[in-house]
Structure 1
Amino acid sequence: MLKDAVLLILLLTCAYTDLSKRLIYNRVLLPAIIFGFLYAWLTNGIGGVGQSLAGMILGFLLLLLPFYFGGLGAGDVKMLAVIGALQGPHFTWRAFLLSALVGGGWAVVYLARQGRFLITLNTLLINAYFLLRGLPVTWPSFNLNQTSPEETLPYGAVLALGTLLTYLSG
């Protein structure tokens, strides 16, 4: 029950700050990860700590590549790592997948409302074609590092919603 309350507070806080300020604060994440490891140790001993560590590492690694290419901020990566430390690797994997679906749906709606869905889809398909053929991408491509914050999804909010849906689904 206590772990569930910490998870809910973490999700609501991170979603709020990401939506309002496009930031996920370390001062929110650090106490939550410490709590996750401490709770795991007190309830399940060293095996619980191992599960918590495995969840944290998985959460970190799952978002490391998108972060590296500029698609996510460091706060998003750390947030999923904290979720992993609180809930373990199995839950983290499911939350990651459900969050990706939520984010994809959110992106489609956002692009459609902006009137940019078809051009974005076209650009993605052309880039994929060039990459699969081993050709350099010469047609206009996405440079994730040159997008403004207004053009990106607040992925912390997406993670919060995906994680909440994962939790509610059992």
Structure 2
Amino acid sequence: MQPFTELPLWSQLLVMVPLVVICLISAVTDFRERKVYNTFTYPGVIIGLVAHTLAFGWSGLGSGLLAALTVLVVGILILPFRWLGGGDIKLLAMIGAFVGFSGLYVVFFYATLVGLAMGIILSVANGYITELIKRLWLVMRAMFFSITSRTNLGVKMETDERAYLPFAIPIFFGVLLALTDAYAGWPLWLDGLRLWMSDSLL
């Protein structure tokens, strides 16, 4: 498939503008209301598939559709683990419709880095970092005793509001970083890390 930056300007804008706008709106609503609205993500999938098809042809439609469906299937499987919320999964599926597998991987890579940094900063700022360390210790202790003495300590932890991370915000910055990476490039160590992660997953 032709590289995104080599497309005509109208094709690039057709993909970039609605993608950035929908991700920005989702980041704002996730921050203010802790919710990513279906009224933006569902139409966004359709808009993304149309934009991807107009930009890349029928191969773009196949790539966008496959990326969106894969995210939804994987998202449904991991939803019980609460690694991502339903709104975040639908937002990533929409991004997949816009940019396909390769673009989605870059977006998720940067979103993960931003989310990690943001999570650490928020945990320190709101005092959750000590509770996080305590919970990690309890989990590790329970695992140790379950392995060595087959004793189930049954660690149950209440939900702490301070642990909430509006992941639509890192996703939005992931989109921005992926787009600027496509045009300007980023430090080589990031490219090396991304390639290493890609090789590790294959």
Normalising by the smaller structure, the TM-score range is 0.7 to 0.9
- 5+ residue gaps, structure 1, are none
Query: Where does residue 113 of structure 1 map in the other structure?
Result: 125
Query: How far off is 1:118 after superposition?
Result: 3.7
Does residue 1:40 correspond to 2:52, yes or no?
yes
Given candidates 138, 146, 151, the residue that maps to 2:153 is 138
With 14-23 and 34-43 compared, the bigger mean Cα shift is at: 34-43
User: 1:66 deviation in Å?
Assistant: 4.6
Contact 2:142 2:154 in 1 (8 A): no
Alpha-carbon separation, structure 2, partners of 1:50 and 1:111: 41
Which residue pairs with 1:49 in the alignment? 61
Q: Does 1:88 align with 2:100?
A: yes
Q: Residues 64 and 157 from structure 1, CA distance in 2 versus in 1: closer, same or farther, beyond 3 angstroms?
A: farther
How far did residue 53 of structure 1 move? 1.4
Distance 2:48 2:58 in 1: 13
Check conservation: 2:29, 2:36, Cα contact below 8 A.
yes
Number of aligned pairs? 167
3-state SS of 1:112 partner = helix
Confirm whether residue 160 of structure 1 aligns to residue 175 of structure 2: no
The answer for the alignment partner of 1:13 in structure 2 is 25
Distance 1:113 1:8, change over 3 A: same
* Bigger CA radius of gyration: 2
Q: Identical aligned pairs, as a percentage?
A: 25
TM-score after normalising by structure 2 = 0.70
Deviation (angstroms), 1:86: 0.3
How large is the Cα RMSD of the aligned pairs? Answer: 2.6
Query: C-alpha displacement at 1:128, in angstroms?
Result: 4.6
Where does structure 2 lack aligned partners over 5 or more consecutive residues? 1-12, 183-202
CA separation of 1:119/1:43 partners in 2, compared to 1, >3 Å: closer, same or farther?
A: closer
What's the counterpart of residue 73 of structure 1? 85
- Superposition TM-score, scaled by structure 1 size: 0.82
- Of the two structures, which has the highest relative contact order with CA contacts closer than 8 Å and spacing of 6 or more? 1
